[in-house]
Structure 1
């Protein structure tokens, strides 16, 4: 009976820490009881799927294994969050260039200061995450990780500095690619207004620049919306790829 409970606890620690940190499964407004219920509901099928533990663990061993499982779950959740962070950074780049960053306020639903493009990019990515069933693929990768890196395994491999640098560089590359059209158009609008102010000094460029950049950027956003959604749809499956590679690096 005790070994059965220990097995369930270790499974719950990995899945629970993942659910609590991953943006696709955890929101600021969701009560903690609901998150625990989701984690337990996911842990029970995994408990049936994986083989039983070979021996009973002592109290100190159980604490160490629980800590290891928590760290693995947090790492997997952080990998999924990196892609949402990339989308948020892309929105912040666009907001800064257009001028919306001055109106950024704390959003309790997101848990950070967000302005217009930041919210649009984030909720668009989150909608695509669920509409394309990406949450099912992420959960499948999380569950299959128990076979690659069992709960009784304690020797952790080396994901390496190269893997971490690759993830961060890819995050900024995605952010730049998503925000590039709006940032470039906003810059070109400023250049045109600068040339206009030199040729027609009577025009108040300071009063004209802000509404003009907003109009141009929002119009471009509507025109490029299908391409932006396609880019996010191609980007999100990469989180499953890197989750799987991370688990394999631990084994």
Structure 2
């Protein structure tokens, strides 16, 4: 009985831990590995009692069968974490594009919130604000609910379906980038109009470096646009999380 309980807990940890490893926020590279590991173990043990009937009947003491179940559980959990992470990665992409459109792309890069890589300060600010709002609105609770519900949609003995997983990932990518392009469309229009105007002025006075003179005004206009639009931007981002990812 003890061996069965240990194997069941390990199977639960495979799915839940893989999801926590890749989900935004808890899977951040800036969060210590020990913290992520202990949170995944605590969540696995806490959910084991609720998932006992869905896991224990499929536990096998044969090594080959267990290896297949472990690999399947890790892939299913990674899929749930990836669909949530793709949505945040799409936000980081549009944030970097917005920073470039308003003239901040030439500034020195800061450290990204999710990864240890360079990212424009404006994009890092947008990513941090959006991620903070997701935690404020308990998106991590929705991810845990999706993990619990996944044992009905993808039971332990059902194994991992690569074709369905690729369909889910591609649909999430397309919908996430469609949402982000809509959110960033005012900045795209602003960049087109400003650069078109600067280009016309530069043709009229080729002796004056209009681009470098106009750059502070372009940045000021972009920040003003961000000031008036950031509340709506973040609200629509949070509203689109569940329909685009685990709720879709």
TM-score over 0.5 for the alignment?
yes
TM-score for the superposition, normalised by structure 1? 0.87
| Counterpart check, 1:131 vs 2:131 | no
Does structure 1 retain, via aligned residues, the 8 Å contact 2:60–2:66?
no
Q: Distance in 1 between matches of 2:211 and 2:162?
A: 57
The equivalent of 1:240 in structure 2 is: 246
Picking from 53, 58, 63, the partner of 2:67 is: 63
CA shift at 1:28, angstroms? 1.7
The equivalent of 2:45 in structure 1 is: 44
The equivalent of 1:246 in structure 2 is: none
Moved more, 217-226 or 17-26: 17-26
| Count of aligned positions | 242
RMSD between aligned alpha carbons?
A: 2.2
Residues 217-241 of structure 1: CA deviation (Å, up to 9, x unaligned): 0010001122112211211122221
Residues 47-85 of structure 1: CA deviation (Å, up to 9, x unaligned): 111215235331121122111111111111110011101
Secondary structure of the equivalent of 2:156? coil
The equivalent of 1:228 in structure 2 is: 233
CA shift at 1:158, angstroms? 4.2
The within-5 A match list for 1:1-251 is: 1-50=2-51, 51=53, 53-54=56-57, 56-103=60-107, 105=109, 107=111, 109-111=113-115, 112-154=117-159, 156=161, 158-159=163-164, 162-199=167-204, 203-238=208-243, 239-242=245-248
Secondary structure of the equivalent of 2:26? coil
> What 5-or-longer segments of structure 1 have no aligned partner?
243-251
Residues 153-184 of structure 1: CA deviation (Å, up to 9, x unaligned): 33637417654432222122122112211121
Secondary structure of the equivalent of 2:118? strand
Q: Distance in 2 between matches of 1:35 and 1:160?
A: 25
CA shift at 1:135, angstroms? 1.6
Moved more, 11-20 or 103-112: 103-112
Q: Distance in 1 between matches of 2:187 and 2:199?
A: 18
Q: Distance in 2 between matches of 1:88 and 1:123?
A: 10
Residues 22-54 of structure 1: CA deviation (Å, up to 9, x unaligned): 113222222222111111111112211121523
Secondary structure of the equivalent of 1:173? helix
